[in-house]
Amino acid sequence: MNSRSFIFLFFVSVTLCSHSPQASAVARSFQLSVQTSSPFSIALDNLQSQIDYTFESIGLLRRAMTHASYSEENNKALSVLGGRLIEASAALQLLTKNVDISTKDLNRLIVEIDNVENSCSADGTHLGLQKIVRVSSKTNSTSPAVVCSAFRAIFGAIAVDTGSLDEARSVFWKVHKGGFGRAVAM
Ligand SMILES: *[C@@H]1O[C@H](CO)[C@@H](O)[C@H](O)[C@H]1NC(C)=O
């Protein structure tokens, strides 16, 4: 069989399969069992319960939990959005409490809440992201930079999922642990 007729037959069989309800039911249940049995999918489900947010588009959470070392399709851009969102949320909260805050204090507290070494990786580790995030075999998934990018990307992903910053902001305050809460309350 030459390659052209092979390709033709391939398309005929794909077309026939996709028109058979039985075949697509089999395909769906196969897909379902693949989805429910993969440890990564289970971890994504658990993470959604932990953050108390269910994604419309689970692909966004899958991407948020994918480090740049693992795939071209990764969390880098979502992480940029998430980081900015955390900073803006912190600034809003601080200014709401005290509109006279100095720029020096404001900047210091913003840096503190999104600090890679402490706040950000501590929050991410608390959620267990080091065990979920997909990295290449040469990458250490417990390193603060990896955990942090995954943590920030969650909020970028929620913002894209909802088309708004509000839900992402409220999920951030729910999962954020650490010193900044005390600083804001002062
Ligand atoms: C991975 O990173 C963590 C945190 O930085 C470190 O404690 C650990 O030793 C590293 N593991 C390896 C195998 O390099």
Q: What pLDDT, on a 0 to 100 scale, did the predictor assign at position 180? A: 55
| Ligand 1 atom 13: residue of nearest CA | 140
Taking the domains of the chain in order of start, what are their residue ranges? Answer: 1-37, 39-185
Residue 57, Cα to own-chain centre: how many angstroms? 11
43-82 burial, b at 16+ Cβ within 10 Å, e below that, comes to bbeebeeebebebeebebbbbbbbbbbbeeebbeebbebb
Q: What pLDDT, on a 0 to 100 scale, did the predictor assign at position 67? A: 98
User: Tens place of pLDDT for every residue, the chain, 186 residues?
Assistant: 555 554 444 444 444 444 555 555 555 555 555 555 799 999 999 999 999 999 999 999 999 999 999 999 999 999 999 999 999 999 999 999 999 999 999 999 998 887 887 789 999 999 999 999 999 999 999 999 999 999 999 999 999 999 999 999 999 999 998 655 433 433
Residues 6+ apart with CB under 8 A from 71: 134
Contact present, 158 and 168 (Cβ < 8 Å) = yes
Q: What pLDDT, on a 0 to 100 scale, did the predictor assign at position 5? A: 54
Closest by CA to 41, choosing from 24, 62, 25, 14, is 62
Q: Please give the model's pTM, rounded to 2 decimal places.
A: 0.78
Q: What pLDDT, on a 0 to 100 scale, did the predictor assign at position 66? A: 98
pLDDT, one tens digit per residue, over 33-60 is 555 579 999 999 999 999 999 999 999 9
Closest by CA to 179, choosing from 132, 89, 111, is 111
Q: What pLDDT, on a 0 to 100 scale, did the predictor assign at position 139? A: 97
Task: Report the pocket of ligand 1 as residue ranges, CB < 6 Å.
Answer: 140, 142-143
Pocket probe mutation, ligand 1, options 67, 143, 149, max atoms within 8 Å of Cβ: 143
Question: Sign of the CA dihedral 123, 126, 130, 134?
Answer: negative
Question: How far apart are the C-alpha atoms of 186 and 182, rounded to whole Å?
Answer: 6
| Ligand 1 atom 10: residue of nearest CA | 140
Provide the strand spans (E) within 141-186. none
As assigned by CATH, the class of the 39-185 domain is mainly alpha
